[in-house]
Amino acid sequence: MSTVLDTAPEQAVRELYTRYKALALSTSASLLLEGELAPIAEQVDALVADCEAAGARRDALGRQTTACAEAAASLRPLLSRDPTPEALAHARETHLRLRRAVWEVIPCEYVPCCASTHDHHERRS
């Protein structure tokens, strides 16, 4: 987890965002399939802590790390097995906010974005 602190800000955001996405997918899939949620809770807490630590760096991309911490934290109420509609709505809202913020500094990671012909580096300017 601490490797995030040793990397460039953009790379740190990418790593945190990747971890968040995996947890968001795991959380929702576990809720749909009645899978185990307890192991996810530990990882969510660790991610929130890492986002906060990364955000404290002098050169941090603060908006992105804050958005990632918020999105990760919004998964926590979903791990109760029976999340409220409000908790689900909040998780979706923070997810969208994070995604928007992340795409300001790293390329859209979805297929087909990375198969397209546009210059990803243009997005960074």
Residues found near other proteins in the complex (CB under 8 A) = 15, 18, 21-26, 28-33, 35, 78, 82-83, 85, 88-89, 91-92, 95-96, 99-100, 103, 108-116, 118
Which of 39, 45 has the CB closer to other proteins? 39
Task: Report which residue type is found at 52.
Answer: E
Which of 58, 100 has the CB closer to other proteins? 100
**Token couple for 125:** 């300017």
Cβ 113 to other proteins, closest distance in Å?
4
Collapse the DSSP code of 1 into the 3-class scheme (helix H, G, I; strand E, B; otherwise coil) and give the result. coil
Cβ 110 to other proteins, closest distance in Å?
6
Cβ 53 to other proteins, closest distance in Å?
19
Cβ 58 to other proteins, closest distance in Å?
26
Collapse the DSSP code of 84 into the 3-class scheme (helix H, G, I; strand E, B; otherwise coil) and give the result. coil
**Token couple for 65:** 């790390």
Which of 35, 49 has the CB closer to other proteins? 35
How far is the C-alpha of 105 from the C-alpha of 5, rounded, in Å? 17
CA-based R_g, the chain, Å: 15
Question: Residue 58: CB partners within 8 Å, gap ≥ 6?
Answer: none
Which of 55, 107 has the CB closer to other proteins? 107
